[in-house]
Amino acid sequence: RADRRCCADVAMAVARGLELVLLKPRRFMNLNGLSVASAAEIYNLRPEDIYLVHDDLDKALGKVSIKLGGSARGHNGVRSCISALHSNEMTRLRVGIGRP
Domain ranges of the chain: 2-96
Return the HEC string of the chain: CEECCCCEEEEEEEECCEEEEEEEECCCHHHHHHHHHHHHHHCCCCHHHCEEEEEECCCCCCCEEEEECCCCCCCHHHHHHHHHHCCCCCEEEEEECCCC
What's the gap between Cα 85 and its chain centre? Answer: 11
Out of 3.40.50.1470, 1.10.760.10, 3.50.50.60, 3.40.50.740, which CATH number does the structure's domain 2-96 have? Answer: 3.40.50.1470
* pLDDT (tens place) for every residue of the chain, 100 residues total: 999 999 999 999 999 999 999 999 999 988 999 999 999 999 999 999 999 999 999 899 999 999 999 888 889 999 999 999 999 999 999 999 998 8
Q: What is the pLDDT of residue 43?
A: 93
* Residue 85 near residue 59, CB atoms below 8 Å: no
Q: What is the pLDDT of residue 27?
A: 92
Q: What is the pLDDT of residue 72?
A: 87
What's the gap between Cα 46 and its chain centre? Answer: 13
User: Of 55, 12, 78, whose CA–CA distance to 3 is shortest?
Assistant: 12
Q: What is the pLDDT of residue 74?
A: 87
